[in-house]
Structure formats: structure tokens, C-alpha cells
Amino acid sequence: MILDGQSPEAIAEAVRVLRAGGLVAFPTETVYGLGADASSDMAVAGIFKAKGRPADHPLIVHVAAGMKGTEALSRFAQPLPLFAQKLVQAFWPGPLTLIVTRQPGVGAAAAGGQDTIGLRCPSHPVAQALLEACAEQGVPGVAGPSANRFGRVSPTTAQHVYDEFGEAVPVIDGGACEVGIESTIVDCSRGAPVLLRPGLITRAQIEAACGEKLSDRDVLETPDPRASGTLEAHYAPNAKLRLMDAKALQTGLDVLGANAAHIAVWSRSSLRCRSQRVLQRRMPDDAAASAHQLFAVLREFDAEGVKLIWVETPPDTPEWEGVRDRLQRASAA
């Protein structure tokens, strides 16, 4: 079922389901999450089963803002280093996940069995209403990976979630997600900030907020902790996705000519196409607008039944890093 995110009764029903060990999909400013009580390993196991996700691939735990969020931090995480505290102050609530050292004995399943755990405080008002109500009822945090089958395109509307799971999972409808790609992930567990997954928040913003340079993950003596969305192949549509520059896109369309079919193109450049059977969509010139559209566009192409998706490679500039990351992983699937 799809629940009205503006209804207190719907929030109360979602909390009841979560307290009972069930799953509820909920909106955040990034994508919709598939939620379970993060403090219950049995409840979290339901997420892995529903998504078909490996149990050692960790989840992100979402916490409320304010005092309830502070209490949840101390419940799940050991004391944060100063640079991590600065990131919390600068970007929470918001699209930033911190990987921190986990408190023993709590959140093991959500952490994928690691000694670290990912924590985030989303800014979406419906997510905050849910998290605050959960905290009041003894659910300190909600584990919530993207509400889709493992490795597939993330959902940015309640209908996308329903298309994935049908009636099996109640969905709180909070409208279309504003950001559209998953949170930036910064590892704070090794004494220095390390960027594990790019997103809306850029490297420069992170460094300015925490007062430190991001460390080069390739020169650290310890390996990266496992984290959500960092597998080489991820975010994949059913159709095969290929990244190409504008010249290669135009050449491909010219070669296929009027016979081109079962192809969708998402590009910033204006392209000539002699076939009426090629589906073309305009990619915005703005990185944030492209991020907002990205997963919805890929889902639209899949719904049209195309076999190939050709995407113009985004610019190699800092503000486009999150979009490039998602498209590169989608093309590797």
C-alpha cells in the first residue's frame, strides 16, 4: 500500500510495522529507503531478503535530528573524532553518511558484521517525522538502503517502490526526491576523512567543513570498510547502458540511420537521428538537475522496453562527480 506522508495516522502505522519487525519504505531527500529497526538484527535480515542483497553488504542507519539523533549516535557509534563532529554540524540533517566505529553489541546486521557502521540524518520532513516517532517508541534508528532490488536502479518516487515490491511493502509517499542520487559517504573510522562515495556534497565542501584534506584511500595502510553503493557494478537498468561522448553518440546514430530501434539516448548535446524509434531525452546542463532526473529517466527507459541506453558522459568537474559515479557503475553491470 502507499501511505500519505502528510498523515499522522500513516506515520503511526509505519512505526507500528517497524516496531513489530516489519519493513516500511520511506522518502528521503536522496532516494526512497527500505526501512527496518536497525537495532533488531532479525528485522534487518528482512531487508536483505526482500532486496536479494548479500548479508555482508552493510546498510545505512537513519537517525532523527536534535536530541533524539544525539542519543541514537551514542547508541550506535563510539565517540566521533573532531572532524566527524564538524561534518555532523555542517551537513546534518542532509545527504551525508558517515562511516564510524560501531558500539559493540548493537547494529551488527545493519553493519554487515563490520566494526564500523554508516549513519545519516536525512533532511526530508517525512523521514524526520518517521524517525522522531520511531525514537519516541523505542526504535532508535532505521536501517534503510535504497528501496529496490539489489544492484538495480534506485527509486525516487513512491510509485517506483511499488513497482519493485507491490503490496508486500508499505510505502510512505513523500513526493519525488529532491536530490535524486544517494548520499555522499565519508569514512571517519581511520583517523582521517576518506571519501567513499561521491554525491551532492562535494570534496571541497567536505574539506572546508571539517578543516582537513580528504585522505587518499590508496595510500592508507588499512583497507576501506565496506559501504553501501560502492560495488563496481550497481544502479543498473534492465537495458545495457553505455557512456559515450557527443561525437560517438552522433556517429552511432548516423551509422544505424533509419534502422535504429530499441535505443534510448540521454544527452546534453543536440543530436540528429533519422529513426522515429529512438527515444531521446535532454540531459540538463546543470549537475544537480541531472542528478534529480537520473534514476527516473533510467526507469522510464526501462518501462519503454529499450535494449540499449546511450548516455552522454558527464563533464569531468567536481559538481558532476556524483552523477558520473552512478552512471559509471550502472554501465559496468
**CATH number of the domain to which 51 belongs:** 3.90.870.10
Is there a single domain that holds both residue 41 and residue 85?
yes
Q: Residue 63: what pLDDT?
A: 97
Q: Residue 160: what pLDDT?
A: 97
Q: Residue 68: what pLDDT?
A: 86
pLDDT tens, residue order, the chain (333 aa) = 899 999 999 999 999 999 999 999 999 999 999 999 999 999 999 999 999 999 999 999 999 999 888 999 999 999 999 999 999 999 999 999 999 999 999 999 999 999 999 999 999 999 999 999 999 999 999 999 999 999 999 999 999 999 999 999 999 999 999 999 999 999 999 999 999 999 999 999 999 999 999 998 777 878 899 898 888 888 999 999 999 999 999 999 999 999 999 999 999 999 999 999 999 999 999 999 999 999 999 999 999 999 999 999 999 999 999 999 999 999 998
Q: Residue 57: what pLDDT?
A: 93
Is there a single domain that holds both residue 172 and residue 33?
yes
- Final residue of a domain: which of 169, 190, 210? 210
Is there a single domain that holds both residue 32 and residue 177?
yes
230 assigned to some structural domain: no
Q: Residue 217: what pLDDT?
A: 79
Is there a single domain that holds both residue 10 and residue 79?
yes
**Closest Cα partner for 213 from 193, 197, 199, 198?**
193
Q: Residue 221: what pLDDT?
A: 77
pTM: 0.96
Parent domain of 105: 2-210
188 assigned to some structural domain: yes
297 assigned to some structural domain: yes
Name the domain count of the chain. Answer: 2
Is there a single domain that holds both residue 139 and residue 265?
no
